[in-house]
Chains A and B, each alone.
Chain A
């Protein structure tokens, strides 16, 4: 049992060093807050998706789905007539907007719904009647209505593919506290078809089948449609955003790692400051175990306070992160409305455990170190430093082994994201253990120039770092880690942005592009009017046009995003291939034998050039050959490209989604842009006409928006690190009060002392910045070449930006300087005699 006096001594120490204790609590709180916030935001998004899918899928076991054109309505009629005993219900589903918010419009047949969903179960007969007879009636979840300030009878203007459609809310459904269907508007299938201009087609037919029924139905289905299991389809959709969410979690863990380092650091200082005290306790007969438990218990109180504070802050932060996560999922993957934070007990528990466990691990090391010291070291101050220096070869060895382990982990798997992150953490921890060994030679290297620039003060500053390695080593390592994290994440984002910029400049070869604003259908992009291409082609100054059709197809490998393109002569330049292609690529592509696939698609589906790729057409499965793999940073789900003529023939779909206009040489784009806008204005639905440059700018804007959350996390890591550095430096400088008092007593003026301390902390900042550069670069290499590739399937060159290095160095120096300022000011004001007293 830990004696109460050992406890009391520890707690009073913390009370006497309030700022140090507050910073420790703050460090762990920030680390826990970031992990919890990301966890809760991710969980809330996943949970909202699951709940919505659960409610929408209901008791549906199978679904009949078709190609980009959907399923002909008559198939449902035939199904009901030929298999009347099979429970089935038609569904039309589209994306609509209210302002900036995306919602799902679900068109159902209320009379066929009972076996599947309870959405219209409680709807009064009069309302149900209205739903079936009116052309603008909707049902809205009570939760969404409350959130959006709507009620039964409210008129609601929906933005459907850029067109405003007036609707009326007939009734609310579900409880006010039921967030499960938030963002799902329910209407009759006929109304949905009208609103989404999807006459005569369905998105899917929902079924409740057993295995034998499913097998029989498969044989009955005509070519071009297929029967899929609902669970499988839902899992495939949920899997889309998995990599994105995993990356966020890993980044939040980085914040906790920095937080853990901070705890280690402050616990180490706290122990070092009291080494003598623990030695006395050991002299008086306290066992190693008692001292260990006393230190650990005291640090665990700090950890507990930090964890509780972090959990509260995490919930607040999660509310802010939630909309960022949801927006990114909406931008990149699928329409999702998440308005409620799901305070999932497992996440709260994980956050709490991570905080406490990190504290336990981080504090165990110095606590163990304190008990290792023999009691006689009380009277030998040099023992600590000698031991620190003696430990250097071991730290070097363990550090190198850690980094070697990272290398082994990276190479042990080509695809495992988890092993990729494990390798990253091995490299980080290994390198941090190397740092104390690198400090003495660096300090010796800087000694001469500092001595010649600042005289004795410079010599003292550089020698002091080496002489007090037990304290400066961990502080510099913590600072190194924090700066390296900012460098690594900075290089990754910048490299990505540069690559995307270059890729866009190469891909967007046309001078002007025309497309629909956005699509209401999740199967295909909104089509352009038939007459538009020929009218644009006839305009004076237009050399040629390219055309494209974006659709989502079903395949044996899950949904495939397909771009059917009619290439202009300049369009070919837009493709940059990874590795070799099949011979006569473009000729065979034009003939329709070959497909081109994007790098993420090839990575996720493990496809190579020459591999077959079967696709489901309305007339059955057609097998194609992969002719080349091109770089594409537009989607991490991947893209398949085929000639438009071939697509039109196989899928009986001649519509186009985008038009690229290539001007004649020397032709200014301004007048033609105006002319094309005038033409587009004649279309029924609003169209977007944009010049090449505008597309590039908007694409990079979207890129930046997507990475907002990464930037936010990077800032949070920096915040944790800053608190860590501040705390470490303050503890270090306060601990050296006696040394400073000796200098003051010897004749150093307060200003000189301020200069000496500031110089030393600056030097530590500089060392950390120098040491952080290789680690930051290493982290960036792993993030870019291992994590990004494994998570999203993107490969790209990493680019070392001097701006990021300068920023990081500046940050290190400012943080170090600020951190040293308070203790040196305090020391300069203190009477040396007070600090010189032994106790």
Chain B
């Protein structure tokens, strides 16, 4: 628990959420309590449909729980307005998805530079930072390519670069290797965790793969709406 002495960046208290099913509700998150420290890498493990993506969406402020509180950087995100939640996400959160979610009509460089532009960074600076991070993910030569000209692994590397370029305090990754073969997945995970560590970012990875989860500092398992500790692992 080497990061636990750090200040908590993310605090979740008594989170409840259920989905409407048939006549009643099926609880998906049943009183979740969670703290993630600064610079920590946390893996959320669980089977498909266990609610881990729902939890991740709530951490990002793009879904709202029925009860409970989520604090990111000391801000209660559920108390924020929709606009303020968006601004919080824009400034402090990075996202990596299983299906990459790149914008097909923007080039690699434009996709990666988008969070900076949204944060008001000027063009020469955007280009400079994009150049750095594309080199970091090993795609410095694909600057002007469009997403449909890239392989799955390359697309995910671009997605990682985009998630990290604006120096977010918190990086959320939802099954980042779920759509890739084992070897590429391993490379991608190396880049994601490596860069997060290098840039001192807090990383929350949602996965159903124990292999992926083992790469995190800490593993939590989500089962029947309840989180349980799996232990600490070393980077």
Which residues of A does B touch, CB under 8 Å? 3-5, 8-10, 12-13, 16, 276-277, 279-290, 374-376, 378-379, 837-839
Q: Is the CB of B97 within 8 A of A5?
A: no
B203 CB to nearest A CB, Å: 17
Checking B89, B110, B148 against A285 with a beta-carbon cut-off of 8 angstroms, the contacting residue is: B89
The reply on B75 being an interface residue by CB < 8 A is no
Checking B99, B106, B147 against A8 with a beta-carbon cut-off of 8 angstroms, the contacting residue is: B106
Q: Is the CB of B57 within 8 A of A837?
A: no
B12 CB to nearest A CB, Å: 17
Q: Is the CB of B106 within 8 A of A287?
A: no
Q: Is the CB of A283 within 8 A of B89?
A: yes
Bound Cα distance from A445 to B83, whole angstroms: 45
Bound Cα distance from A16 to B146, whole angstroms: 12
Q: Is the CB of A287 within 8 A of B86?
A: yes
Q: Chain A contacts of B95 at CB under 8 A?
A: 283-284
Q: Is the CB of A284 within 8 A of B83?
A: no
How many CB-defined contacts (below 8 Å) exist between A and B?
86
Q: Is the CB of B53 within 8 A of A379?
A: yes
Q: Chain A contacts of B63 at CB under 8 A?
A: 374, 376
Q: Chain B contacts of A4 at CB under 8 A?
A: 117
Q: Chain B contacts of A288 at CB under 8 A?
A: 82-83, 86
Interface 0/1 of B218-233, CB less than 8 Å to A:
0000000000000000
Q: Is the CB of A839 within 8 A of B148?
A: yes
**9 more A-B residue pairs beyond the given contacts A379-B97, A379-B99, A839-B155, with a C-beta to C-beta distance below 8 A:** A3-B114, A9-B110, A283-B62, A283-B89, A284-B114, A288-B83, A289-B83, A374-B63, A375-B62
Interface residues of B in 108-160 (CB under 8 A from A): 110, 113-115, 117-119, 147-148, 155
Q: Is the CB of A9 within 8 A of B105?
A: yes
Known: A374-B62, A376-B62. A285 touches B103 (CB 8 A): no
Q: Chain B contacts of A10 at CB under 8 A?
A: 105
Q: Chain B contacts of A374 at CB under 8 A?
A: 62-63
> Interface size for chain B: under 10, 10 to 19, 20 to 34, or 35 or more residues?
20 to 34
Q: Is the CB of A277 within 8 A of B105?
A: yes
Q: Is the CB of B86 within 8 A of A280?
A: no
The reply on B101 being an interface residue by CB < 8 A is yes
Across the interface, name the chain A residue whose C-beta is closest to B99.
A838
B59 CB to nearest A CB, Å: 12
The reply on B100 being an interface residue by CB < 8 A is yes
A–B pairs, 25, beta carbons within 8 Å: A3-B118, A5-B114, A8-B105, A9-B106, A12-B106, A276-B101, A279-B101, A280-B101, A282-B62, A283-B62, A283-B95, A284-B95, A284-B162, A285-B87, A285-B115, A286-B90, A287-B83, A288-B83, A375-B60, A376-B62, A378-B101, A379-B97, A379-B99, A839-B102, A839-B104
Checking A13, A16, A279, A839 against B147 with a beta-carbon cut-off of 8 angstroms, the contacting residue is: A839
Known: A376-B62, A839-B148. A287 touches B87 (CB 8 A): yes
Bound Cα distance from A43 to B89, whole angstroms: 56
Q: Is the CB of B103 within 8 A of A277?
A: yes
The reply on B215 being an interface residue by CB < 8 A is no
Bound Cα distance from A4 to B21, whole angstroms: 43
B119 CB to nearest A CB, Å: 7
Q: Chain A contacts of B162 at CB under 8 A?
A: 284
Q: Chain A contacts of B104 at CB under 8 A?
A: 277, 839
The reply on B214 being an interface residue by CB < 8 A is no
Q: Chain A contacts of B62 at CB under 8 A?
A: 282-283, 374-376
Q: Chain A contacts of B200 at CB under 8 A?
A: none
